[in-house]
Amino acid sequence: MLRAAAAAVLLSAGACLGLAAPAAAEGDEAFFRQVAGQWSGPGEIVAGKYKGTKFVCTFDGLPHNGKIGVALDGSCRVGVFAQKMRAELTRSGKSYTGRFQDGASGNGLDIVSGDVAGDKIVVGLDRKQLKGAMVARLAESDKLAITVSVRVAGELVPVLGMNLDRVAGSTKQTALEQ
């Protein structure tokens, strides 16, 4: 239970996480600079077998060196149980690819597509028969709202929501805020 919830949570935060033109790439880079830093906050599973399960996660978001994207390291906790989390998301051509934990070939998920538009990123998620999407939106410079949905009977159904706050004292990554 914790692993499945944590997988969706980290992907949401990370992945928190492709456009065709160089100008678009600059916008993508700006988004990932804003996401960089330390984040913490609550979440809840809102559908499925574990509906109502609440958890708390903390993440360190770091831009990729030389690549457009982000790497997230952290953990999620349900009660006294904690699970380490890791996600990577990088630009690949006109889109994004990446993985949560060890990807779909292991116990995680693959990020198979992505698009950054202003203060929001939408990524496609894949693991065997599970297909879904994650939307992460910077509600403010210090707030990140995340929703993970899975495809059920041809429709995307929200299954997880999170509201992360930038940890006090965490460095903001935009030129205007330095």
Give the mean pLDDT per block of 10 residues along the chain (178 residues).
Answer: 44 38 65 91 95 96 86 93 92 91 90 94 93 92 92 93 87 47
| Confidence at residue 169, expressed as pLDDT on a 0 to 100 scale | 67
Whole-prediction pTM:
0.79
Instruction: Report d(CA 151, CA 65) in Å as an integer.
Output: 33
Q: What is the DSSP letter of 177?
A: G
Instruction: Report d(CA 126, CA 110) in Å as an integer.
Output: 5
Instruction: Report d(CA 160, CA 15) in Å as an integer.
Output: 14
| Confidence at residue 144, expressed as pLDDT on a 0 to 100 scale | 93
Domains in the chain: ranges and CATH = 2-167 (2.40.128.20)
Instruction: Report d(CA 21, CA 15) in Å as an integer.
Output: 21
Q: Which of 135, 15, 113, 124 is nearest to 73 (CA)?
A: 15
Residue whose tokens read 């496609």: 124
| Confidence at residue 24, expressed as pLDDT on a 0 to 100 scale | 54
| Confidence at residue 171, expressed as pLDDT on a 0 to 100 scale | 55
| Confidence at residue 11, expressed as pLDDT on a 0 to 100 scale | 42
